[in-house]
Structure 1
Amino acid sequence: MTPEIDETNAVPLKYVAFCDVLGFSHAVETEFDATILLYKTFQARLTDWPFPKKVDVAVYSDSILLVCDELAPLLYAVQSLWFATLQNDWLIRGGIAYGKYWEDRSNGNLFVVSDALVRAVRLESTIKHPCVALSPEIDIPLSIWFARFEHELFDMPLLHHDGQNVVNPFNKFWFVSARNRVEQMKSIWPEHSSKYDWFLGLANEVEKEELMIPSSAIEEMLEKGIIGLKADDNTPS
Structure 2
Amino acid sequence: MTEIYESASDAYYVAFCDILGFASRVSNDFESTHEAYVALANSWSQQSNSEMVSVSMFSDSIILSCPVLPPLISAVRMLWFHALQKDFMIRGSIAKGKHWEKSQGRNLFVVSEALVRAVKIEQMVGVPAVVIADDVEIEDDLWVLCRFPVEGDPAPIHAGLLYFRDRVLVNPFNLMWGTSAANRARQLMEQSPNHKDKYLWFLSLHEAVSNHELLMPPDVSARLLAKGDLVKLGEGG
**TM-score (norm. length: structure 2):** 0.89
Contact 2:8–2:98 (Cα < 8 Å) also in 1: no
> Closer, same or farther in 2 for the Cα pair 1:53/1:28, shift >3 Å?
same
What secondary structure, in the 3-state scheme, does the structure 1 residue paired with 2:223 have?
helix
Separation of aligned partners in 1, 2:9 and 2:187: 46
Separation of aligned partners in 1, 2:20 and 2:147: 33
Deviations 1:34-86 (A, max 9, x none): 21122111121111122222211110011000011111110010000001110
Aligned residue for 2:156? 153
Aligned residue for 2:152? none
Separation of aligned partners in 2, 1:162 and 1:63: 25
Q: What residue identity is the alignment partner of 1:77?
A: A
Alignment of 1:53-64 (within 5 A): 53-64=51-62
Separation of aligned partners in 2, 1:5 and 1:174: 44
The number of aligned residues is 228
- After TM superposition, give the deviation of residue 148 of structure 1 in Å: 6.4
Structure 1 residue ranges, 4+ long, deviating more than 6 angstroms after superposition = 3-6
Unmatched tracts of structure 2, length 5 or more: 150-154
Percent identity between the aligned chains? 38
Which of 165, 169, 177 pairs up with 2:168? 165
Contact 2:157–2:175 (Cα < 8 Å) also in 1: yes
**TM-score (norm. length: structure 1):** 0.89
Separation of aligned partners in 2, 1:201 and 1:4: 48
Contact 2:182–2:203 (Cα < 8 Å) also in 1: yes
Deviations 1:117-176 (A, max 9, x none): 100000100000000000001000000123366342111000000100000000111101
Q: Which has the larger radius of gyration?
A: 1
- After TM superposition, give the deviation of residue 10 of structure 1 in Å: 5.7
Aligned alpha-carbon RMSD (Å)? 2.2
Unmatched tracts of structure 1, length 5 or more: none
Aligned residue for 1:205? 208
Separation of aligned partners in 2, 1:206 and 1:121: 27
Deviations 1:95-123 (A, max 9, x none): 00011111122242111111111000001
Contact 1:148–1:211 (Cα < 8 Å) also in 2: no
Separation of aligned partners in 2, 1:228 and 1:43: 39
